[in-house]
């Protein structure tokens, strides 16, 4: 690790990218502490404590705590992430978008990105309008309003600021991707999650000092976190390498060039967990927000420590793993691309047989990946029930944090390797 830090500082391009990324993340961190005008921040924080197990808390974690403070970056990067997911689904189902992505090259990718930004603007506007209108009608348990002076002026001003903040954060993510290190949107979410780690550690230390958490419970938490991190690293790095031959690319005495097709054990990353959580916590959130007494029983069923919640949670994760994988890992498209490139899998005929073979391999990998995601998602829930740790610790945050860290380290390693290769050639 220290060797990598020295290499980052010694290589000029890598040093500039690292400092650029750090500067952009500092700008983002500053924006998460600038509250909207007219918001009672202390009352707002007290109000959101009743939504600890709601979709707001999940959103708040990804925004680095900006949502419960209603800062200018309260919406964070999630409108763009949501738009990107929707665009992936639309691209798989709309022929025009699929043609843009697969056949139009750089122009097609540019148009897809342009449509994603328009969709981000729409999603951010809807979310901002909902939040500002809803918050104006809310008070704390003692009757303190969350907004000092509501009305049309506050609504328009707040919506404009929130939407501008979301689009600015999207732009910051693009800057990191282009001039920094790692994937920009992922780095922003990573920074939002990591920024809350010190307060989480402080909460654990404080509860340990007061005796609310025993030594055994603290040991269980530490060992479980380390085990989850190790498990995520192993599974995220695991892949099945299918051998590929290119008969048109002869090497030496006519031997076909060998390569391989890598298929990840978990190609869908954290998305099934996010989908499952969003579906489960949204009904209870709306029941609590709008005080729907007739459906109050659903809140008991959908508590995070409820057997019904956890059973549905595991089922949804497995289902969404297969559904989302069918969009991003399509055996038909892979087989077709291999056929067009003149490549084939040894012992398997090109075309339909290749597609069936790939489908079998992918389904087997997805089964293991889905079970892994379900285990990663359910273990933190069991830990919270057993130890009563005073903060939200979920499989989503663990997968995102470890996944982004691994991706960034791979990119840094690639830059270092390329630099050493250039040095070797220059000799």
- Residues of 191-214 as b/e, b for ≥16 C-beta within 10 angstroms? bbbbbbeeeeeeebeebeeeeebe
Residue 139 CA to residue 130 CA, distance in Å, equals 16
Most confident listed range (64-73, 110-119, 177-186, 213-222)? 110-119
Helices 184-194/78-93 angle, 10° precision? 140
Which pLDDT score is estimated for 118? 93
Contact in structure between 59 and 67 (CB atoms under 8 Å): yes
Contact in structure between 373 and 228 (CB atoms under 8 Å): no
* Signed CA dihedral, 392, 398, 400, 405: sign only: positive
Higher model confidence: residue 317 or residue 12? 317
pLDDT-based confidence at 268, cuts 50/70/90?
A: confident
Q: Mind listing the pLDDT tens digit for each residue in 144-156?
A: 888 888 789 999 9
Domains, the chain, with CATH or none: 20-193 (1.10.3370.10), 196-427 (1.10.3370.10)
For the chain, what is the mean pLDDT?
82
Q: Mind listing the pLDDT tens digit for each residue in 28-67?
A: 989 888 888 888 888 887 787 776 665 667 777 777 778 7
pLDDT-based confidence at 422, cuts 50/70/90?
A: low
| Mean pLDDT (whole number) for 385-405 | 75
Q: Which of 395, 393, 386 has its CA nearest to residue 217? A: 386
Residue 238 CA to residue 403 CA, distance in Å, equals 13
Q: Which of 18-22, 26-30, 97-101, 113-117 has the lowest mean pLDDT?
A: 97-101
Residue 424 has pLDDT above 70, yes or no: no
Helix (H, G, I), strand (E, B) or coil at 14: helix
Token look-up 């998460």 returns 32
pTM over 0.85: no
Higher model confidence: residue 415 or residue 399? 399
Q: Which of 197-206, 306-315, 321-330, 338-347 has the lowest mean pLDDT?
A: 197-206
**Max Cα–Cα distance, the chain, nearest Å:** 84
Name the DSSP letter for residue 36: P
Residue 108 CB-density burial (10 A; 0-12 exposed, 13-18 middle, 19+ buried)? middle
Question: Which residues have C-beta within 8 Å of that of residue 374, sequence separation ≥ 6?
Answer: 313, 314, 317, 318
CA distances from 240 to 85, 237, 291, 339, 365 (A): 25, 10, 50, 20, 8
Residue 396 has pLDDT above 70, yes or no: yes
Question: Which residues have C-beta within 8 Å of that of residue 330, sequence separation ≥ 6?
Answer: 92
């Amino acid at each position: 690790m220290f060797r990598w830090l020295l290499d980052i500082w010694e290589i000029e391009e890598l040093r500039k990218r690292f400092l650029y990324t750090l500067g952009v993340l500092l700008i983002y961190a500053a924006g998460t502490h600038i509250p909207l005008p007219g918001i009672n921040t202390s009352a707002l924080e007290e109000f959101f404590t009743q939504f600890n197990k709601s979709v707001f808390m999940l959103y708040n974690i990804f925004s680095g705590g900006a949502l419960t403070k209603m800062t200018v970056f309260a919406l964070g990067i999630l409108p763009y992430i949501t738009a990107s997911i929707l665009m992936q689904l639309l691209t798989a189902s709309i022929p025009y978008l699929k043609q843009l992505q697969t056949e139009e090259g750089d122009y097609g990718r540019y148009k897809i990105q342009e449509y994603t930004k328009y969709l981000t603007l729409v999603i951010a506007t809807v979310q901002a309008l909902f939040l500002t209108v809803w918050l104006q009608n809310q008070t704390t348990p003692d009757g303190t309003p969350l907004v000092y002076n509501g009305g049309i002026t506050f609504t328009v001003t707040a919506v404009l600021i929130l939407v501008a903040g979301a689009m600015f954060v999207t732009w910051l993510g693009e800057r990191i991707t282009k001039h920094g290190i790692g994937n920009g949107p992922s780095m922003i979410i990573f920074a939002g999650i990591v920024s809350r780690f010190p307060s989480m550690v402080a909460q654990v230390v404080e509860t340990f000092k007061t005796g609310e958490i025993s030594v055994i419970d603290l040991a269980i938490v530490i060992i479980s976190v380390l085990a989850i991190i190790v498990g995520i690293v192993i599974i995220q790095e695991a892949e099945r390498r299918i051998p590929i031959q290119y008969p048109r690319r002869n090497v030496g005495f006519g031997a076909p060039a060998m390569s391989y097709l890598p298929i990840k054990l978990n190609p869908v990353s954290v998305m099934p967990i996010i989908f499952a959580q969003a579906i489960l916590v949204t009904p209870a959130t709306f029941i609590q927000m709008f005080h729907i007494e007739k459906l109050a029983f659903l809140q008991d069923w959908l508590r995070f420590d409820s057997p019904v919640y956890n059973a549905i949670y595991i089922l949804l994760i497995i289902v969404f793993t297969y559904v989302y994988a069918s969009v991003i890992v399509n055996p038909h498209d892979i087989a077709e691309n291999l056929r067009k490139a003149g490549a084939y899998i040894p012992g398997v005929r090109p075309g339909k047989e290749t597609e069936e073979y790939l489908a079998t391999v992918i389904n087997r990998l997805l089964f293991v990946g889905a079970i892994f995601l379900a285990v990663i998602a359910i273990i933190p829930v069991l830990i919270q029930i057993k130890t009563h740790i005073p903060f939200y610790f979920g499989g989503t945050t663990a997968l995102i944090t470890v996944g982004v860290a691994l991706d960034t380290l791979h990119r840094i390693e690639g830059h270092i390797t390329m630099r050493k290769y250039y040095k070797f050639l220059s000799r």
